[in-house]
Structure 1
Amino acid sequence: MATASPLIKFDVCIYKSDDISEDEFFNWATKVYSVKAGPLMKRYGIVKWTQTLQPTGFRGPMRHALKTDMGRPDWTVPDYDLVTTYWLRSLDDMQALTTDPVWAELEKDAATKSNLSIGHFVIGHEVVQFEGNVDGAGA
């Protein structure tokens, strides 16, 4: 029996444009962009797509905790506003998606809401150690 190849996890860390409020950016990303982008991603075989919103109000307290409570003074909390994550069977699927003319139009709109001059990619294989701890049992 053949073993399935692990999915590729691809994170894109995005900063919002300075010309848009955080609430407006989050609303656009999760309610406007997602409605347009989702069907296109499905067409190109993207297995899963998530968005992680990183509100400004979370960053300061976490930076403080790292330095004072967690003993990690040199660690950072980046100022990304959104991390969008794709699970792919192949990098070819992402290549096909991002070369579609409809995707190019979506990216034109994204350029008005996001600061595309900076960002960050993370790519690799996700290893799930546990999932679905519904009873909350632990330490």
Structure 2
Amino acid sequence: MAEGDQPVKFTITHYRKQEHTHEAFIKWMVEEHLPLAIPVFKKHGVIEYSLFVTPPPLNDALKQEVGQVRPTWDFADFDCFIEYTLPNAEVIKNIMSDPDWAVALKDQDDWVDVPKALVSLGYSTTYVKDGKAVN
């Protein structure tokens, strides 16, 4: 993981374990996991963290509507998409090796279908902001 001149985006998708509802899963993420995780993020210089929640009714409606126009498209069915903005990729390793991160993940195996996670690392360039073209 080479360092660049600009911050990197690290993303991960999460599927909940099927014994939990989507709502209960997101509640666990926000009310139990994040209070433990945020101090670790601060310690390691995470610039931004966002949780993109994907409720099944919205995704089902999207699939019904857009699927008619684009029948060959696959539609994501994960419960959330997490996006980190980091100063560099080294921060990922630093967080994952932090003992406090293990504490933040203590209940993960009860809630998250970990083998289904999809991760990516890259850069983000904004082309429209506040309704105006940039770059």
The TM-score normalised by the length of structure 2 is 0.88
- Other structure's SS at 2:65 match: helix
Contact 2:48 2:86 in 1 (8 A): yes
- Partner in structure 2 of residue 104 of structure 1: 102
- Other structure's SS at 2:73 match: coil
- Partner in structure 1 of residue 79 of structure 2: 81
Structure 2 residue 36 is the aligned partner of structure 1 residue 62 = no
| Shift in Å, 1:90 | 0.9
Query: Which ranges of structure 2 fall in alignment gaps of 5 or more residues?
Result: none
- Partner in structure 1 of residue 28 of structure 2: 28
Contact 2:50 2:84 in 1 (8 A): yes
Percent of paired sites with the same residue: 19
- CA RMSD, Structure 1 to Structure 2 (Å): 1.6
Task: State the AA in 2 paired with 1:47.
Answer: I
Task: State the AA in 2 paired with 1:51.
Answer: L
Number of residue pairs matched by the alignment: 129
- Partner in structure 2 of residue 17 of structure 1: 17
| Shift in Å, 1:133 | 3.4
Q: Work out the CA distance in 2 between the residues paired with 1:104 and 1:32.
A: 14
Q: Work out the CA distance in 1 between the residues paired with 2:65 and 2:84.
A: 29
- Partner in structure 2 of residue 48 of structure 1: 48
- Other structure's SS at 1:25 match: helix
Q: Work out the CA distance in 1 between the residues paired with 2:111 and 2:67.
A: 32
Look at both structures and tell me which one has the larger radius of gyration over its CA atoms. 1
Can you list the C-alpha shifts for 1:74-128, whole angstroms capped at 9, x where unaligned? Answer: 1111111011110011111111001111112222311111111211112211111
